[in-house]
Amino acid sequence: MPDCNIISNTELTAKLIGFYNVDDIKYGRSENTDTVIIQNPDLEIKKTIQGHDPKSNPEFIIGEEVGYILNITNHGNAAALEVVVEDTLPLGMCYITGSAKMTSPVNKTRDPIVIGDCEAGEQVVLKRVDLTYPGVSTGTIPGKGKFQMTYSGLILHTVPLGTELENHAIVTTETKQDDLYPHEDEETITVPKPDLRVTITSPKTVDGGSPFAYTIHYNNKTITQQEQPYLIITLPNRTATTTADPGVKF
């Protein structure tokens, strides 16, 4: 059986020997060698979120659109044939129809194959088998070729606050390829809970029997809106409240 796991730049040398054989005596011996060098494709896929640092864990709110970028590079010298890209969306995210584009080296708007119904609570897989590269057949990425595609997903209102949404992309080819570069990548976003922060300050000294004011600050450290925040203040003994701004509850 042939070895189908030979890596790129492996040299395969064949040796040929020729001679005359007369009465079991060899005459006119000649020999020659020929060497071929194996070249495979080696696909790498990188996934990033549009408008965000690739090293960050960006936050989004429910009902918001999330834009993804997929960059695929063939680091090998040989073409990768019948390339397939699959991107598994997290539960609670829907693909936005019409948002998918092949942006480099060609510019085309074309929806991928969508497997699963997110509205029915199913996980969605986006499958792309029609990568288009100039001068080669559909689904082929030539040696040293690069390809980019984008699409958007929508975070459903059913996603609980505090959830991390991770989606996973993988690129495959029918051609034997090397494994020097990762063939899969993932991105994670967070739908955060509100994070209320409060402070209270007052004058350092006051005269006995004189009125003084407490100053209260509160803010939300995340992008998720906090509705109807409640503030509960415990006053020291021998103090009484007089007035408070509307909306503050004691």
Backbone angles phi, psi at 150, to 5 degrees: -135, 160
| Strand boundaries in 75-160, DSSP class E | 84-88, 93-95, 101-104, 108-109, 113-115, 125-128, 146-155
211 class by beta-carbon count within 10 Å (0-12 exposed, 13-18 middle, 19+ buried): exposed
- Using DSSP's 3-state secondary structure scheme, residue 118 falls into helix
pLDDT score for 167 = 93
- AA identity, residue 78: A
What is the distance, to the nearest Å, from the Cα of residue 237 to the centroid of all Cα atoms in its chain?
56
Distance CA 72, CA 88 (A): 16
- On whether the CB atoms of residues 88 and 82 are closer than 8 A, the answer is no
Cα–Cα dist 87/38, whole Å: 31
pLDDT at 216: 85
Q: Where are the domains of the chain?
A: 43-191, 194-250
The confidence score (pLDDT) of residue 15 equals 87
The span from the CA of 248 to the CA of 250, in Å, is: 7
- Which two structure tokens, joined as six digits, stand for 209? 């029997």
The pLDDT of residue 238: 67
The conformational region for residue 221 under phi > 0 = left, psi -120 to 50 = alpha, else beta, is: alpha
> In sequence order, what are the residues at sequence separation of 6 or more whose Cβ sits closer than 8 angstroms to the Cβ of residue 180?
42, 75
CB atoms within 10 A of CB 96: 15
Q: Cβ contacts of residue 146 below 8 Å, gap of 6+?
A: 71, 72, 73, 74, 104, 105
Count CB-CB contacts under 10 A for residue 23: 4
Fold exhibited by the domain 43-191: Immunoglobulin-like (2.60.40)
> Rounded to the nearest 5 degrees, what angle is found at the Cα of 169, between the Cα atoms of 164 and 174?
160
Instruction: Determine the pLDDT at residue 198.
Output: 85
Output the pLDDT for position 242. Answer: 57
The per-residue pLDDT string of the chain (250 residues; one tens digit each, 9 = 90 and over) reads 455 678 877 788 888 888 888 777 888 889 998 888 778 999 999 999 998 776 677 899 999 999 999 999 999 999 999 999 999 999 999 999 999 999 989 899 999 999 999 989 999 999 999 999 899 999 999 999 999 999 999 999 999 999 999 999 999 999 999 999 999 999 999 999 888 888 889 888 988 888 888 888 878 777 777 777 778 888 787 666 655 554 444 4
What's residue 54's pLDDT?
62
DSSP 194: P
pLDDT for position 244: 54
Rounded Cα gap, residues 185 and 87, in angstroms: 9
